[in-house]
Amino acid sequence: MEFPETNNKLITTLSFLLCMLSLTYASKNCDFPAIFNFGDSNSDTGGLAAAFSPPNSPFGETFFHMPAGRYSDGRLIIDFIAKSFSLPYLSAYLNSLGANFKHGANFATAASTIQIPTSIVPNGGYSPFYLDVQYEQFLQFISRSQIIREKGAMFAESVPERDYFEKALYTFDIGQNDLGAGFSGNLSVEEVNATVPDIVNSFSANVKKIYNLGARSFWIHNTGPLGCLAYIFESFPLAEKDSAGCAKAYNEVAQHFNLNLKESVAQLRKDLPLAVFTYVDIYSVKYSLFSEPEKHGFELPLVVCCGYGGKYNFSSNVRCGDTVAANGTQIVVGSCDRPSVRVNWDGVHYTEAANKFIFDQISTGAFSDPPIPLKMACHNTTH
């Protein structure tokens, strides 16, 4: 039987429309009602500050005009991520004053590691809230927040709705301190390098546990080039430098970590087909700030903006915000003149300007595997 001419046209038009519809669906922006973040100081919005002592002025001065629990002069990448979805900046889970968790919670604390740390604050350098603990806190957060919701109006407004957990974006930025702890714990570069598979396995195990609690959209940052940061230069002054002035071997270990992480994310994608995993190459974007700063509007990327002493304006004994006696007078270690063109804020952490630059680059998807923009990180494009 033959279709009349007009029907053929109709069918073609219809199938064209259907095709457009599914394309539109696949490219529709995600409607994340909440963000749950896990990590270290790269994404801590006040956790360590609430648990122990907060950073002093001039931390926070660029955007918040006061210390805001963040290790930067202003906002972090996670703040720009939240803002891009018109969600409020994330409250730290550990913050008991003025926090609101309606649209997510931040379990990251500065100095957190993936694996259990060997020394913790105040007797050592690392946070007790390492990734396994952050997972335990999230587990409790889910059940307790739902109990609190049932108490009614005022309480319900401070916690997520039940279905937010499945619809939320889950973000991760952790690993730098596992490598740093290895380097400062008398392990050789090769020995630290050899610990990478175990570290990444612990990471992956936590992601699986978080998935089992209902999480589906994962946005995973790799680790940055820690060999470009002043705290590494100070500890390892003899380290061989590359053309950007970064400590080569330390960055190679970071790259080895990233390769392992990327492979393990690929494995998670296979093991957990209902979830969407985006691996984000933060390393390359951060490294470009050191290798071609002028191109991106930055200067003196290796030199610390808020620090004290030496070639890199950094000393681990006299940190940003500290007071130091010099030549008989008290000097407060304050900000450089133009943090807006600087990369390294305090020797370990990035300026708000650098964080904004990194966010602008990664949100496009150009540094992601698969290469989909942040706004579409809920869509499964790999199968």
Ligand X SMILES: *[C@@H]1O[C@H](CO)[C@@H](O)[C@H](O)[C@H]1NC(C)=O
CA 86 from chain centre, in angstroms, equals 18
Instruction: Find the catalytic residue in 349, 363, 368, 369.
Output: 349
For residue 16, give the H/E element and its range.
helix 5-26
Partnered with residue 33 across adjacent β-strands are none
Spatial separation of the C-alpha atoms in residues 357 and 287, rounded to whole Å: 12
Q: Which residue is nearest to ligand X (CB)?
A: 336
> Looking at beta carbons only, is 47 or 307 nearer to ligand X?
307
Annotated catalytic, 346?
yes
**ω before 122 within 30° of 0 (cis)?**
yes
Q: Which of 40, 41, 79, 112 is catalytic?
A: 41
- Ramachandran angles phi, psi of 170, nearest 5°: -110, 115
Of 15 and 118, nearer to ligand X (C-beta) is: 118
Closest approach, Cβ 193 to ligand X, in A, equals 4
Chain residues that interact with ligand X, rule: CB under 6 A: 185-186, 189-190, 193, 249, 252-253, 256, 300, 303, 305-308, 313, 326-327, 331, 333-334, 336-337
- Determine the length of the chain: 383
* Closer residue to ligand X (CB): 141 or 233: 233
- Least CB distance to ligand X at residue 349 (A): 14
Q: How far is CA 54 from CA 36, 65, 99, 229, 321, in A?
A: 22, 15, 16, 22, 11
Shortest distance in whole angstroms from residue 374 CB to ligand X: 31
Q: Where are the beta strands (DSSP E) in 9-140?
A: 35-39, 104-106
Which amino acid is residue 308, in one-letter code?
Y
Active site residue 349: yes
- Shorter beta-carbon distance to ligand X: residue 86 or 327: 327
Grouping H, G, I as helix, E, B as strand and the rest as coil, residue 326 is: strand
Residue 275: CB minimum distance to ligand X, A: 28
Q: Min. distance of Cβ 14 from ligand X in angstroms?
A: 55
Q: Looking at 40, 178, 281, 346, which residue is catalytic?
A: 346
Compare residues 38 and 126 and give the one whose CB is closer to ligand X. Answer: 126
Nearest CA-CA partner of 382 in 278, 251, 294, 240: 278
Catalytic residues: 41, 346, 349
